[in-house]
Amino acid sequence: MRKIEHIGIAVKDLESSNELFAKLFGQPSYKIEEVESEGVKTSFFMCGPNKIELLEATNEDSPIAKFIDKKGEGIHHIAFDVENIHEEIERLKKEGFTVLNETPKKGADNKLVAFLHPKSTNGVLIELCQENTDL
Output 51 or 86, the one with its CB closest to Zn ion: 51
- Identity of the amino acid at 26: G
Task: Determine contact, residues 50/4, Cβ cutoff 8 Å.
Answer: yes
C-alpha dist (Å) from residue 47 to 7, 20, 23, 85, 111: 11, 14, 12, 25, 20
Q: Which stretch binds Zn ion (CB under 5 A): 7-15, 17-25, 28-36, 89-97?
A: 7-15
Q: State the minimum distance, in angstroms, from the CB of residue 19 to Zn ion.
A: 21
Q: State the minimum distance, in angstroms, from the CB of residue 84 to Zn ion.
A: 18
Report the relative pairing of strands 3-10 and 40-47 from DSSP bridges.
unpaired
Report the relative pairing of strands 3-10 and 50-57 from DSSP bridges.
parallel
Output 7 or 22, the one with its CB closest to Zn ion: 7
Report the relative pairing of strands 111-116 and 126-131 from DSSP bridges.
antiparallel
Residue ranges in 52-81 that form contacts with Zn ion under rule CB under 5 A: 53, 79
Does the footprint of Zn ion cover residue 39 (CB under 5 A)? no
Q: Which stretch binds Zn ion (CB under 5 A): 16-24, 62-70, 91-99, 121-129?
A: 121-129
Q: Which stretch binds Zn ion (CB under 5 A): 12-20, 58-66, 85-93, 119-127?
A: 119-127
Q: How many Cα atoms sit within 13 Å of 66 on the Cβ side? A: 5
Residues that bind Zn ion (CB under 5 A): 8, 53, 79, 127
